[in-house]
Structure 1
């Protein structure tokens, strides 16, 4: 997985960690208010009641701050996914539907999440040549389906899950583009697509 902080200097004291979280909180709120193109380090510093110098102590530029926010989003998503799976998922399709549910809930409730999500928008804009959080998520979901729900491991499964994550990223981005609650037709069509893509892999598990 990518470095979860992407910070210039690692926070070694509680105060530093609190400052970083305050900066990320401020950036998240501003993303909802003004969007990714209009947000500046000055805006973040002002909203966090801090200074631009403090931002640059931890982040070399606005891109690294946004990537740190995306990584924090990813961590929150993983925590929510783990907690919800234990309560609601009994098979592979349940697990993938839960993965959608957790994403949708964060998009509705977590400031800045529906704008920056796991950072694919940042990677596209700045041509980042590294493993994305989407790829990391696909690997996590593939391992989950194999280890917990008995789906046979294969290159085809890994590829289909990565395709699923990329399509989900696009469809969910569209679902929340104009409606902060999410347009249900896009979300439901995503569920239908995932069921169709997963069916051959789960059939293989039944016949083995």
Structure 2
């Protein structure tokens, strides 16, 4: 393995002045890393494999990522951002009912697993040993988005019990969708359906409150 791990893992991407060419190169390296993760698994990802897949020199990889852990962290952050953008697009759209909006959020989360292959294996880095920095749980992060949406669009203030239901809905959906894609690249429809059902059951009291 051709990795610089002797000095201890680093989780910080090495940034140069933000330029279009540099941003494009980082994206290309992360695309290559995603392909390696999908084909070989997280445990087999190395900076050498990323360089080979990207058609770049190992020096180019080290220019932005000091080691394999930094590559995985950056890829996990990109996955998180893509999920966040998918949910944000839904929440910015017009929906006739809150139930419809929540349904679209659930569909967007599932679709992210389907459209972003590396998400199935890495997701946002939760539960993986990616260095000294703790990975924040995903459910509360997306819960914040939904709580803000409920307040701004539907004038609904969420109490402690409702907030817990939101986090449980997202966490339960995430767990079942993750399992659904474990052996099926399209997602096992049984577990997808169960995840959506559980999420809706947790959110039902909030939907009812919004309706009056």
**Per-residue CA shift, 1:126-167, capped at 9, x if unaligned?**
464353444322211221233223443222222222222222
Render the CA deviation track for 1:103-146: whole Å, top value 9, x for unaligned.
22222222312111222143x56464353444322211221233
Partner of 2:190: 185
Which whole-Å CA distance do the structure 1 matches of 2:189 and 2:166 have between them? 22
Distance in 1 (alpha carbons) for counterparts of 2:20 and 2:194: 44
Deviations 1:10-57 (A, max 9, x none): 452222111100110001111111111111111001101112222222
In structure 2, the residue matched to 1:40 is 46
Residue in 1 aligned with 2:66?
60
User: Structure 1-normalised TM-score?
Assistant: 0.84
**Does residue 1:29 correspond to 2:29, yes or no?**
no
Q: 1:78 aligns with which of 77, 84, 92?
A: 84
- Supply the RMSD in Å over aligned alpha carbons: 2.4
Q: Secondary structure at the match of 1:8?
A: coil
Q: Which residue of the other structure, out of 93, 102, 109, is the alignment partner of 1:103?
A: 109
Question: Kindly tell me: are residues 93 and 118 of structure 1, through their superposed partners in 2, closer, same or farther at Cα, counting changes over 3 Å?
Answer: farther
Count matched residues: 202
Which structure ranks higher in relative contact order (CA pairs < 8 Å, sequence separation ≥ 6)?
1
Give the distance between the partners of 1:40 and 1:161, measured in 2 at CA: 37
Cα separation, 2, equivalents of 1:185 and 1:89? 27
Kept in 2: contact 1:59–1:65 (CA 8 A): yes
SS of residue matched to 1:37: helix
CA drift at 1:171: 0.9
Please tell me whether the aligned partners of residues 114 and 185 of structure 2 are also in contact (alpha carbons under 8 angstroms): yes
Q: TM-score, normalised by structure 2?
A: 0.82
Correspondence for 2:173: 168
Instruction: Pick closer, same or farther for the CA change 1:86–1:168 going to 2, 3 Å.
Output: same
- Mapped to 1, the partners of 2:113 and 2:209 lie a distance apart of 34
Distance 1:66 1:15 in 2: 21
CA–CA distance in structure 2, aligned partners of residues 73 and 194 of structure 1? 21
Kindly state the Cα deviation for residue 198 of structure 1 after the two structures are TM-superposed: 1.2
Specify the alignment match of 1:9 in structure 2: 15
